[in-house]
């Protein structure tokens, strides 16, 4: 769950898979006078809009149930709740949730349309704040992806070292030395220096050489870890592996630095 502030109104947003839902219940707090979601839902234009949305996005949409609702929409004595709409049409664009964050939620496309019923100004600010939220999430996700790439491949890398380079007689301290040696093998291949050399060149820096890496370097590092694990399984000597990994790093960095996708991860224009 996340929250956005739209003209002083706090609105809950949550994601389910690749779909984003916005709380209509929260949005109602910005409406002057009494207004209910059922009032909006009984409007014929509303029914037609969300019906078309469901037809485009929902392969299990119940057309028969929708047709029955559409014939009665707009009549003075007709009332329709969200739960009734979902039950009769098998809709996925509107959701009635219970619990701490309970209320009525709508897919962002439908929520934006509902925003117009609050006011045109409200709809514009709703879209603006929602986009701001997604941009922030994208930036955070970009960093998580970059870090997780190395974490996932680190396990592959260390497992290969354990299976092929570490005799069972070694002490834990000796094992750590071998892990450090292999980590520096990758550092040398990609950065041209060991972790210690980097620390000596960067006094006062509390991070490490990989914390300072950019997105392209982290992607390349993840690839090198997998490739080094493969070389270890093949029984290649460390010196030979270093030469091959360095050649690979040079080739991949040239490609990554020219790639528009990698530049977007860095927040740069393609």
- Per-residue pLDDT of 121-137, as tens digits, reads 999 999 999 988 887 77
Would you place residue 143 in the very low, low, confident or very high pLDDT band (cuts 50, 70, 90)? low
**Which residue, 220, 206, 227, is CA-closest to 258?**
220
pLDDT tens per residue, range 201-226: 888 777 788 888 877 788 888 888 88
pLDDT tens per residue, range 4-60: 999 999 999 998 888 899 999 999 998 876 667 888 888 889 999 999 999 999 999
- Greater confidence (195 vs 156) lies with 195
> Structural domain boundaries of the chain?
2-118, 140-264
H helical segments located in the chain: 24-27, 37-41, 44-57, 63-72, 82-89, 108-118, 120-164, 172-191, 195-201, 215-234, 238-258, 260-265
What size, in residues, is the chain?
Answer: 270
Q: What is the model's pLDDT at position 269?
A: 46
Cα distance between residue 249 and residue 215, in whole Å: 14
């Amino acid at each position: 769950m996340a929250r956005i502030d739209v003209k002083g109104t706090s609105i809950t947003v949550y994601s389910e898979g690749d779909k984003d839902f916005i709380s209509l219940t929260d949005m109602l707090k910005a409406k002057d006078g009494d207004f209910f979601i059922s009032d909006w839902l009984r409007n014929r234009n509303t029914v037609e809009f969300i019906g078309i949305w469901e037809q485009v996005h929902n392969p299990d949409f119940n057309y028969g149930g929708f047709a029955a609702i559409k014939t009665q929409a707009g009549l003075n004595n007709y009332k329709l709740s969200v739960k009734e709409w979902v039950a009769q049409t098998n809709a996925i664009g509107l959701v009635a949730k219970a619990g701490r964050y309970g209320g009525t939620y709508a897919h962002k496309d439908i929520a934006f349309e509902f925003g117009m019923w609050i006011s045109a100004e409200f709809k514009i600010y709703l879209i603006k704040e929602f986009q701001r939220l997604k941009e922030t999430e994208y930036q955070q996700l970009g960093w998580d992806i970059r870090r997780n790439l190395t974490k996932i491949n680190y396990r592959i890398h260390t497992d290969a070292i354990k299976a092929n380079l570490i005799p069972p007689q070694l002490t834990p301290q000796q094992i750590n030395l071998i892990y450090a040696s292999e980590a520096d093998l990758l550092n040398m291949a990609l950065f041209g220096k060991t972790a210690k050399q980097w620390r000596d060149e960067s006094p006062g820096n509390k991070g490490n050489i990989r914390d300072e890496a950019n997105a392209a370097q982290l992607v390349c590092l993840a690839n090198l870890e997998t490739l080094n694990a493969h070389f270890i399984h093949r029984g290649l000597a460390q010196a030979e592996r270093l030469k091959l990994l360095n050649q690979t790093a040079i080739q991949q960095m040239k490609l990554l630095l020219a790639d528009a996708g990698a530049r977007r991860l860095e927040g740069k224009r393609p």
